Amino acid sequence: MDFKLSEEQQLIRDSIRDFTQRYVAPGVKERDAKKEFPHDLIEQLAEQGFMGMIHPEEYGGSGVDHISFCLAIEELARWDASLALTVASHTSLGSGHIALAGSDEQKKQYLVPLARGQQLAAWCLTEPGSGSDASGLKTTATKDGNQWVLNGSKIFITQGSVADIYVVLAKTDHGQGTRGISTFIVESSREGVQPGHKMDKLGMNSSDTTEVYFEDVRIPETNLLGELGKGFVDTMKVLDGGRIGIGALSVGIARGALEESIKYAGERSQFGSPIGDFQAIETKLADMATEIDAARFLVHRAAWLKDQGKPYTQAASKGKLFASELAVRAADQAVQIHGGYGYIKEYHAERFLRDAKLMTIGEGTSEIQRMIIARELKKEFWN
């Protein structure tokens, strides 16, 4: 496997890096403090084709590979993890599920405007009583003539109050377990769809996160996404791909923590020398840099396997697990290197730490990733 970036990949990385430094970095503290969703930045990213990067050109996307997608998400997350999360969840989860399981007609109707960034998608899986055990969801979809009627609620939904399109998991057959779960495309404008209040979170403050309620929501039978009863199977595939994006996002946060620490360590003097000359600080910086390279390798390997059409479930979980836990470690070290200044909002370090923690929870906790990795290992060596 050759990790040398192609000219196109380098161009994408450099383009999004320039955009991020020009337009994202300057307002990131203010957006975090005000908890403002960056509608203007989403529009600008859409104009440049970054809201549907991995989707086929025939359906409004840019048709780039997943390594390019990882490079873009990392660059965004280096400065603004909330914005990176919006792009990643919209692309990999919401519109990604339609790209995976949708019919040609559904892709033309829904994926095209989503991939172009003309609309935003939200992926509705998690419920108040159903998190890691995704099969325990309670939302139902009942057939009534040529319509489906949805009832239930979802929680921790990214883009929950700003989405135009919801991709919703619901039970269609209570007696079939995971084989009784199906997926539906639901327009936010439909009667009975009601987003809840924005959730007050530890971090990711400018990412929109809410509950979403569905009360007797009627949708046409053609809004069934994929095969009846195959929603859970498709969801597992969507999550595999989504973990690649979360891994790249985690690398971006860790890189931000490192770069801000290097800068601060060169500016801050104690005992007559920059603190970056002290061995204790050098060790922290060296460990952070080494682990970031390792995390990026793992994430890009999973992306490469996906691009090659090879099995990548284990690789995606490894990348997500290592990178997400690294993001927390690196951000924690950044706060330590900054000392008292790392604890105040004048500097970026404390925000990296607040944002990083979600990476070990969202799209499968670290505990779930270890279960998946162990399961895949046993398949490989026990069968």
**pLDDT tops 80 at residue 169:** yes
pLDDT tens profile 186-227: 999 999 999 999 999 999 999 999 999 999 999 999 999 999
**pLDDT tops 80 at residue 164:** yes
Structural domains in the chain, sorted by start: 7-120 (1.10.540.10), 122-228 (2.40.110.10), 232-382 (1.20.140.10)
Active site residue ranges: 363
Secondary structure string (H, E, C) spanning the chain: CCCCCCHHHHHHHHHHHHHHHHHHHHHHHHHHHHCCCCHHHHHHHHHCCCCCCCCCHHHCCCCCCHHHHHHHHHHHHHHCHHHHHHHHHHHHHHHHHHHHHCCHHHHHHHHHHHHCCCCCEEEECCECCECCCHHHCCCEEEEECCEEEEEEEEEEEECCCCCCEEEEEEECCCCCHHHHEEEEEEECCCCCEEEEEECCCCCCCCCCEEEEEEEEEEEEHHHEECCCCCHHHHHHHHHHHHHHHHHHHHHHHHHHHHHHHHHHHHHCEECCEEHHHCHHHHHHHHHHHHHHHHHHHHHHHHHHHHHCCCCCHHHHHHHHHHHHHHHHHHHHHHHHHHHHHHHCCCCCHHHHHHHHHHHHCCCCCHHHHHHHHHHHHHHHHHC
pLDDT tens profile 92-126: 999 999 999 999 999 999 999 999 999 999 999 99
pLDDT of residue 3: 66
